Structure 1
C-alpha cells in the first residue's frame, strides 16, 4: 500500500465511509482517531420510526440496540458490544485503521473517516430493513464508500432502492461466505448481483494468487483480493491476524476505493470501480472466473485512475518500466517451532532489513454455519464439523542491517516467543501454529511462512 500512496498526485482528502456491521470499538487507538464527527445535531436513522437525535460531535448511531434479533431499541452508542464477535471492529481495521501511531498495523486507506452505524447482530444477522435507513443517513453525511461484509439474500425493495438512489456512493460487497471456491453465478448473490454502476463485488484470492475460501463467477464477481496474514483491530483495543474470509475482502477493496476518492472527490463511483477492475493484475487461476480475471493492484489502480482523470503521478513516478520504486519482496526463511518451558523457538533469516511479524494461532474445532466455522453450541451441534484457527497474540521484531538473520547468506537469528495470549496469560495446552511474514522498509511483504508448533 505505501507504493500506491507514493503514486498519489494530490494530498489525500478525508473520505467518509460506512462499514455497516456489528459496530466499531470507538475507543480503539487505531479507530478512535479516524471517526467521523457530526458537525451539528440531526435526526437519527431509524428502521422503525423510533426517532431520536444524533448530537453534534458524535460519530453515528446504533440502529438495533440489542444483542440478538428481536424488537429494536436504538440508542446513541454504536460501539461494538463487549463480549461479542467484534466483527465490525475487525472489518473496519482492515479498511482504515490509523497509520504511523506506533501501535498495531495500518488499514488500507489512511484517509478513511468512519460513519459509525451499528446495523448487524453477530452471526451475519443483518436485516435489510435496518441497512436501508443506515445507507440513507450515511450518504446524507457524505459517505462515498459503503463496505458490506455480509450477503443480503434476495433483495428487498428498500435495500435495492437505498443502493440505487445514492449514485455517489460506491457499495463494495461479497459473493459468498467462506465455504470454499464455487461458482456463485447460479446463486445470484446479492447485492453483488445488482446491475448498478455503483456496486463492486469482491472475493478472496490465495497467497499464491489462486482461488481461496470465497466464491468466483464471471457474472457475479468483479475482482479478488488477498485477505490472509495481515493485522487488524480487535474489540477491546487489541489486534489480531486476518485469515481467509470474504468479510476482509470487501473492506480491502473499499480501502482502495477510498484512496481513489481521496485523490479526486469529483470522481463518480463508476470511475473508481472501473479503475479498480481495469487495473487488476491478471493471473491464470482467475481467468474467466471474474469480470477482471485478476487481483486488485492498488498501485496500478492509482496509476490508471490518475491517467484517466488527468492527474500527474506523485513521487513514485507513475509506475511502469521506468518506476524507481522498490517493489522487490523480501525473502524469508523460518525453521524450528519447538516449545519448551513456555517458549517457542525459531531460526529466522530475512534477505534485507525490516520487520518480521509472528502471529500465534490456536487450532479449534467447531461447526460450520452460515458459511463460517463457528464455535460449537447446542444450536449448531448438528452442523458439519470444521477446524478454525483463532488468533492468540502477535509480536513484531525488527531485523536491522548488519545483525544476525539479515542477508541472503547470513546466519539465522534465534527468536523465542512466549506462549502467552495478548492479555499476558499463559496459553492452555492444544495445537498451535505461528504465521510469519516479513515487511521491508519500502512496505514490500514476503510470502508467509507457517510453522506448526511441537
Structure 2
C-alpha cells in the first residue's frame, strides 16, 4: 500500500491503526526522506513526531513534487484483505493526504560471432550496416527493468554496468538482498542479450548495441510474473540516477484499468521521459492500445512485434502483438538470442513484444553513442522519422518498423558526431 501524509499532521495518531501482526515484519515501513530514494526501514513504534518530517531546512527547500515524494510511504502486508481493510481506514483518516493499493505490471512474455547468421531479426533491421556508423559506447547505458540478468553469461559479463560501490545490479523485490540481482527466469537475460550482447568475441550472438552497457534492475520477484508499480518507479529512479539514457520496459500493465494508481504511474513515466528514453513493449493481448492505458504515454516508444516475414505477430484473437496508431514494430517472433539455461546457452526465444522492444532500445543506444547530447524527444523523433513502411500495414495498426541503418543515417544528417567520453 502507498500512503502520503499531510504536512504537519499528527503522525503518531495516524499510524496507531497500522500496528498489526498482518504487517510484513521484514519490511514494515519505508521512509522516503530523499525525494528519489527509499533509504530507511524502521518499525512504526519508533516513529517520532511530525516535526521530524517537516521541521528541517532540507524539506523547506524542496519543490511541491519533491515534498510529495518526501511524505510518501510504502507499507507491505502479508495478505490482500488486510491491505484493503487498512487502505479504506487510512483513506478516511484526517492526517492522510492519499492512500491506495500498489499496482502491478506484468511480463510481456509468451561480426565474427559464431551465431550471428541465425540473427535474422538483427540482419533485417540492417544492424550490420549501421555498425559502420555507430556500434555503441560503454558510456551509453541501457537499463533493463525486468526479472534480473545472468551477469556471468559469456556474451554479457563484459557489458554489465557496475556502480561506484561495486554493485553489478539492483534488486527491488522483497524476497532477496538488494545486491542479489541474479535471475530466477531467463526473460531479463534474453532482453539484455538482444540489446548489448558482446560482439567480435568469436562466440554466440551480437546485441544491437554491442559496445554499450546494461543496468541490471530486478523488479519481478522469484517465480512471479507481476511486479509492483512502486518497485518499477524505484528502479526507474535508480537507473536515471546512475546515468541510464535508455530504459527498456518489456512488460505491460493491466491495460483495461483506468483508476488512480494507473493514472499516477503513467503520469510519473511521462515526467521521467523528459530525462531518458523509455521503450515499452506494447503487450501480447492482440488488442488496440487506443483502448488501454498505454495510449496515455507521451514521448515514449511503444513497440509491437512482427515475425521474420514482416507480418504482425498473431496467434489467435487473444494472443498476439497489441497494435495501434503510434506503435512502431520490430521482430518479436522467431528471434534468436541468448538464454539463461547456463552461461553459454542460445536458442530461438519465445514469441512476444518483450523481445521486439530491445531491438528499439539498442538502436536508441546507437544513436546516443553517436551523439550523447541528443534529447530523449529527438531520439524518439529519429526512430519514428526513419521508420520503414510495411506493405499492407494500415495506420490503425501502426506506423511501420524500425531500421537501424536509416536511423543512424538520419542521425548523421541532423547532428554532429560527438564522443560520449566528453560527457561521462
Q: Same fold (TM over 0.5)?
A: yes
Displacement of 1:254 in angstroms is 0.6
Residues 225 and 296 of structure 1: is their aligned pair in 2 closer, same or farther, counting only changes over 3 Å?
A: farther
Which is richer in helix? 2
Residues 216 and 116 of structure 1: is their aligned pair in 2 closer, same or farther, counting only changes over 3 Å?
A: closer
Residues 77 and 235 of structure 1: is their aligned pair in 2 closer, same or farther, counting only changes over 3 Å?
A: farther
Is the aligned partner of 1:233 residue 2:339? yes
Q: Contact between 2:283 and 2:321, CA under 8 Å: does it hold in 1?
A: yes
TM-score by length of structure 2 reads 0.61
TM-score by length of structure 1 reads 0.57
Counterpart for residue 7 of structure 1:
133
Q: Contact between 1:61 and 1:116, CA under 8 Å: does it hold in 2?
A: yes
Is the aligned partner of 1:247 residue 2:247? no
Unaligned runs of 5+ in 2: 1-126, 315-319, 419-424
1:49-108 CA-to-partner distances (Å, cap 9, x unmatched) read: xxxxxxx12122211142xxxxxx542111113xxx311111111111111222211111
Q: Give SS of 2:190's match.
A: helix
Q: Give SS of 1:104's match.
A: coil
Q: Contact between 1:23 and 1:118, CA under 8 Å: does it hold in 2?
A: yes
Counterpart for residue 324 of structure 2:
218
Q: Give SS of 2:146's match.
A: coil
Is the aligned partner of 1:91 residue 2:191? yes
Counterpart for residue 182 of structure 2:
79
Distance 2:136 2:324 in 1: 35
Distance 1:243 1:137 in 2: 29
2:173 to 38, 61, 64: 64
Residues 243 and 75 of structure 1: is their aligned pair in 2 closer, same or farther, counting only changes over 3 Å?
A: closer
Alignment of 1:392-407 (within 5 A): none
Q: Identify the range of structure 1 (154-163 vs 125-134) with the bigger mean alpha-carbon deviation.
A: 154-163
Displacement of 1:296 in angstroms is 0.7
Q: Contact between 1:185 and 1:220, CA under 8 Å: does it hold in 2?
A: no
Q: Contact between 2:250 and 2:355, CA under 8 Å: does it hold in 1?
A: yes
1:202-239 CA-to-partner distances (Å, cap 9, x unmatched) read: 00112221211343543342334354232223243122
Distance 1:119 1:289 in 2: 33
Instruction: Specify which structure has the bigger relative contact order, considering alpha-carbon pairs within 8 angstroms and separated by 6 or more residues.
Output: 2
How many pairs align?
Answer: 279
1:112-150 CA-to-partner distances (Å, cap 9, x unmatched) read: 212112111345312111100110011001101111111
Residues 310 and 90 of structure 1: is their aligned pair in 2 closer, same or farther, counting only changes over 3 Å?
A: same
Displacement of 1:275 in angstroms is 0.9
Q: Contact between 2:289 and 2:322, CA under 8 Å: does it hold in 1?
A: yes
Q: Give SS of 1:126's match.
A: strand
Unaligned runs of 5+ in 1: 40-55, 67-72, 313-454
Is the aligned partner of 1:128 residue 2:224? no
Distance 1:245 1:223 in 2: 12
2:290 to 159, 172, 185: 185
Alignment of 1:25-40 (within 5 A): 25-39=150-164
Counterpart for residue 270 of structure 1:
377
Q: Contact between 1:13 and 1:263, CA under 8 Å: does it hold in 2?
A: no
Residues 103 and 174 of structure 1: is their aligned pair in 2 closer, same or farther, counting only changes over 3 Å?
A: same
Residues 74 and 290 of structure 1: is their aligned pair in 2 closer, same or farther, counting only changes over 3 Å?
A: farther
